[in-house]
């Protein structure tokens, strides 16, 4: 049997912290980041919860209620009992990034592009210093080769990553 309960985010999060939230899905009225007193709906007992929630005026999927309980459980690791603000922060972090809140006040995780650039930079730096006595084998390159390679850092990076190197002189060239 389908059950629909309209409540606030605060009440839903507090119930989740107390493990009293019924199993189902929480939906929001829009994609804007909710506040504690924002309305939400809990839909349980339905395979068509999205349609039921949308008809009730809550088209934006929030989270599965067991995931909300887990975000609350994570918040308890930082503050026991967790404040409503911390419960909201943990919920929002998981909702927005599909990741657990690493600590209260955590900044947004890096974007995919930032993450890739950081990993690329780490790889580039691990290639180490170029040897002045062993030239890079790339025709016309005045740089020295890195250890265990016949190429300089830039050309070794490009060979391994199969893309232009974003580091080094002249945009990596």
Q: Tell me if residue 10 falls in helix, strand or coil.
A: helix
Q: Tell me if residue 25 falls in helix, strand or coil.
A: strand
For every residue of 51-109, DSSP letters joined together read HHHHHTT--EEEEEHHHHHHHHHHHHTTSSSPPHHHHHHHHHHHHHHSS---STTPPPP
**Structure confidence at residue 172 (pLDDT):** 39
**Structure confidence at residue 46 (pLDDT):** 87
Per-residue tens of pLDDT for the chain, all 173 residues: 899 999 999 999 999 999 999 999 999 999 999 999 999 999 999 899 999 999 999 999 999 999 999 999 999 999 999 999 999 999 999 999 999 999 999 999 999 999 999 999 999 999 999 999 999 999 999 999 999 999 999 999 999 999 999 997 643 33
Predicted TM-score (pTM) of this structure:
0.75
């Amino acid at each position: 049997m389908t059950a629909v309960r309209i409540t606030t985010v605060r009440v839903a999060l507090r119930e989740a912290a107390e493990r009293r939230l019924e199993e189902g899905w929480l939906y929001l009225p829009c994609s804007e980041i909710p506040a504690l007193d924002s309305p939400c709906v809990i839909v349980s007992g339905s395979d068509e919860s999205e349609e039921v929630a949308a008809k009730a005026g809550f088209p934006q999927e929030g989270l599965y209620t067991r995931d909300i309980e887990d975000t609350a459980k994570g918040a308890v690791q930082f503050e026991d009992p967790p404040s409503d603000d911390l419960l909201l922060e943990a919920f929002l972090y998981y909702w927005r990034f599909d990741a657990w809140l690493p600590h209260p006040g955590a900044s947004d995780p890096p974007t995919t592009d930032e993450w890739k650039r950081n990993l690329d930079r780490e790889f580039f730096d691990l290639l180490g210093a170029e040897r002045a006595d062993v030239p890079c084998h790339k025709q016309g390159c005045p740089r020295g080769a890195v250890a265990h390679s016949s190429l300089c850092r830039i050309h070794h990076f490009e060979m391994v990553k199969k893309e232009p190197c974003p580091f080094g002189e002249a945009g990596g060239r």
